[in-house]
Chain A
Amino acid sequence: MSELTLTVMRLGFLAVLWLFVIVAVQVIRSDLFGTRVTQRAARRNDSRAQRQQPPQRQQQQPQPARRGRGNRGAPTKLVVSEGSLTGTTVALQGQTISLGRAHDSTIVLDDDYASSRHARIYPDRDGQWIVEDLGSTNGTYLDRTRLTTPTPIPPGAPIRIGKTVIELRK
């Protein structure tokens, strides 16, 4: 066997051995360096907003201007401002957020005046966040008015469920 081949194999074997070690360390990276916080949430929101741009332009004339501003000003998090969960925030990533005492809710309300499945908050096709009461016992209030139909949430408007108040913030 030629000397060159053996040298290449010798060094190649060491390289492969260390490659295994490095790949193994990559596998356990989150243990060693902590979970990496990614910006995926923000990017996904942006790309969705961009995708939705064309149909909106066709629908309504004043919409593009408002969307352009609303894009930057779209709420990015849901904050509980009153009640036992005060301070809790949930990132808004285009998913439906269910509220209630049921343990499988996104936000489990520890509130005697809330129903098991009280309300849900979801984005419509335009990216506008909508709150809908799910037939709760005590009702869901947006500002002062009790909800009867799914209603878009104006920025900063408090949503009251029992003793809990939540807001959408940027």
Chain B
Amino acid sequence: MSSNVNINTGSNTTVSPGGLPSRRNTELAMLVFAVLIPAFAYANVGLAKDGEIPAGMLGYGLGLGVLAGIAHLVVRRWAPYADPLMLPVATLLNGLGLVLIWRLDQEPTITTPALGGAMAPGQLMWSTLGVALALGVLIFLRDHRVLQRYTYISMVVALILLILPMFFPARYGARIWITIPGVGSLQPGEFAKIIIAVFFAGYLMVKRDALALASRRFMGLYLPRGRDLGPILAIWALSLMILIFETDLGTSLLFFGLFVIMLYVATERTSWVVFGLGLSAAGAVAVASFAGHVQSRVDNWLNPLATENGAVTETAQAMYSFGSGGMLGSGLGQGYSRLIGGIAPKSDYILATVGEELGLTGLMAILVLYGLLVERGMRTALAARDPFGKLLAVGLTGAFALQVFVVAGGVTGLIPLTGMTMPFLAQGGSSVIANWALVAILLRISDTARRPAPAPAPSPDAEMTQVVRP
């Protein structure tokens, strides 16, 4: 038996492995599963609230199924070697988000016309647009390395997207929205995170040797040269400006964190992480001490049970709903997260609804699903053959992971709450569209990474065989 093991591991690379299986059929099976779970949840909500299967069941189920089916066919045709898990996991999260929003739409107290009315139909439309954009990316972006050409253009575009919301009025205490009269509003930060990952990947690919090698050693840390420190200080200043002028902790944390992650991956220097953490801590403390909006968020975080104008804070309400959910949850459609009030349960606090109705067990499952998506992204980065693709995959995955951490941490009271949305789950058009585009770029990189290497040039065949002379 042991000799067999030796044979198999010992066989040389001259034996062609025949390429990785494309695993599209696995993806199809997982997709069917991922469509059935939200359909189950939908029926569950209907039975719990009205005692009957909801009327729109077939429509929503078929809608999600058709969407997933088209996505699968496009991946099969245009990215046949792409990762088999990303699409099903994203579909499942998006479907669960739709069901949760529809479930909260059934609560009359938070579905008044003043609060925007029912949001599930709109969210379904945004999801469709998001999937369409993702498929467009897959069809038209044949090679992710094309993005490398737009390194500095994407820097400019990202800066514009980040700065633009400063000139629009604040909503819910944060200036992260662009309002176009008659069309609606969008959150440019969601798109900026993809574009800035492209910039960081392109920039760090060129500069990483300078950042990694030209440094002095001091107390076990590599101190970078002053001029190499420039970019990190510039990004730091920018994220502080976002924090001050847009009063949005989440966006600034996302951008600075993303930069530090990519810097660390590109240079393998721990000193950058130390610098980054130090700078962000200093910045956060400084801003929190004088910006009122940030300060109140920090206060809510430190004293969640303190009353505010005679009422408990939203942070406390979210904790109550987690508590009432317990281990196994109250069941879909049987929670009281509507008591949080406003549209918060549909957007920022959607995880509180998950925690109450699905309990710790369900919340953990959702977080593991996010973890799986992040793992697939990191795996793609490991498998990618070109440095730009590696860095871009790390950047996109890192942005996604940071966003999940910032939102989940904020809702569960680990860090101060920030105005970001849970990717795919929470209500919000910009978020769902941007995250589908992010998944599409990751699918494209993983397709390139897992594609079998082209056959080497047949040069040895062309040479003449030497003749043995006796």
Contact = CB atoms under 8 A, between A and B. Distances in A.
Interface string A12-26: 111011101101110
Contacts of B34: 20
**What band does the interface of chain B fall in when counting residues whose beta carbon is under 8 Å from A?**
35 or more
Which of B3, B47, B365, B456 lies at the interface centre, i.e. has the most chain A CB atoms within 10 A of its CB?
B365
Given A9-B331, A23-B33, A106-B15, A101 B461 contact: yes
A17 B330 CA distance: 16
A31 B33 contact: no
B466 A41 contact: no
Contact of B365 (A11, A21, A103): A21
B310 interface: no
Given A39-B4, A101-B461, A137-B465, A17 B379 contact: no
Interface in A1-40: 1, 5-7, 9-14, 16-18, 20-21, 23-25, 27-28, 31, 37-39
Interface in A96-122: 101-108, 110, 112-116
A89 interface: yes
Interface string B92-125: 1000000000000000000000000000000000
A7 B331 CA distance: 7
Nearest to B26: A27
Contacts, number: 150
Given A41-B4, A107-B14, A18 B369 contact: no
B88 A24 contact: yes
Contacts of B460: 101-103, 108, 110, 116
A85 B9 contact: no
Q: What secondary structure prevails in chain B residues at the interface with A?
A: helix
Contacts of B51: 1
Contacts of A102: 458, 460-461
Contact of B361 (A9, A14, A24): A14
Contacts of A57: none
B48 A1 contact: yes
B238 interface: no
Contacts of A101: 460-461, 463, 465
A103 B455 contact: yes
B40 A16 contact: yes
A24 B40 contact: no
Nearest to B43: A9
Interface in B415-451: none
Contact of B375 (A28, A90, A137, A162): A28
11 contacts: A13-B358, A17-B37, A17-B358, A17-B362, A28-B375, A41-B8, A76-B7, A89-B11, A103-B456, A103-B458, A116-B465
Interface of A: 1, 5-7, 9-14, 16-18, 20-21, 23-25, 27-28, 31, 37-39, 41-42, 76-77, 85, 88-91, 101-108, 110, 112-116, 136-138, 162
